[in-house]
A and B are shown apart, each in its own frame.
Chain A
């Protein structure tokens, strides 16, 4: 119950305390795959190697596995997969659109 202090108040008691703030400047985002690719001219096989997280880092055990979108165009339809699969590339190129780079691969299967 809150009650008014006596008019014959003694010296108040003061004590400081801290307000601490830890700011994370962004949400934890799923690791963005960093990919490198290599075209073997003799076999025309493209090997794409992706690592999750920031460049040069490896995913932490609790992080989600690296994911990236593989946009595959086949005449008449777009196929979108979210995991790399085995396949045979007939050609590929990097397409830069709207601040994003897309790896365009022609896949035969």
Chain B
């Protein structure tokens, strides 16, 4: 038997076996399970809350606000808080506030701000013509 004849015989054999076991198995359901651990992160850390103040100035000082971005799992609720809402730097009392107390995740960045205010008429503590001071505060996001 030449090579061509052998190949034809093999195909015929396999075909006969398949036909002998032919049948239908009904649709079978299977589960796709997903365990999603929701998450929140600061996709953009808070920038500085920056005050510029002149001793005894007549008007309250409003700080250059800090901005930050939160990215949370879609629909995941979260809250935001500051470790303190007031403080004192170089003898000047200030207050800070969040633009929102919390939110619900959307899966994309959500932008918030930390504003600052400094009452008018304060002296401050400064032995030179100009002084600078820094306070460190903490933003906490709970979800």
One of B1-9, B16-24, B86-94 at the interface: B86-94
Query: What is the number of contacts between chain A and chain B, taking CB atoms within 8 Å?
Result: 148
Q: Is the CB of B143 within 8 A of A9?
A: yes
Listed residue (A13, A15, A18, A23) with the most chain B CB atoms within 10 angstroms of its CB: A23
Query: What is the number of residues of chain B that contact chain A, defined by CB distance less than 8 Å?
Result: 59
Complex Cα spacing A104 to B26, Å = 116
A50 to chain B, nearest CB (A): 22
Residues of A within 8 A of B49 (CB): 17-20
Complex Cα spacing A6 to B142, Å = 9
A87 to chain B, nearest CB (A): 36
Q: A17-B114, A18-B48, A19-B94 are in contact. Are A12 and B131 (CB under 8 A)?
A: no
- List B residues at the A interface (Cβ < 8 Å): 37-42, 45-55, 57, 63, 66, 68, 76-79, 87, 89-92, 94, 96, 100-104, 114, 116, 118, 124-126, 128-143
28 residue pairs bridging A and B, Cβ less than 8 Å apart: A1-B104, A5-B79, A5-B102, A10-B39, A12-B142, A13-B40, A13-B41, A13-B42, A15-B42, A15-B68, A15-B138, A17-B47, A17-B114, A18-B49, A19-B87, A19-B94, A20-B48, A20-B50, A21-B90, A21-B118, A21-B133, A21-B135, A23-B90, A23-B92, A23-B125, A24-B52, A24-B129, A25-B55
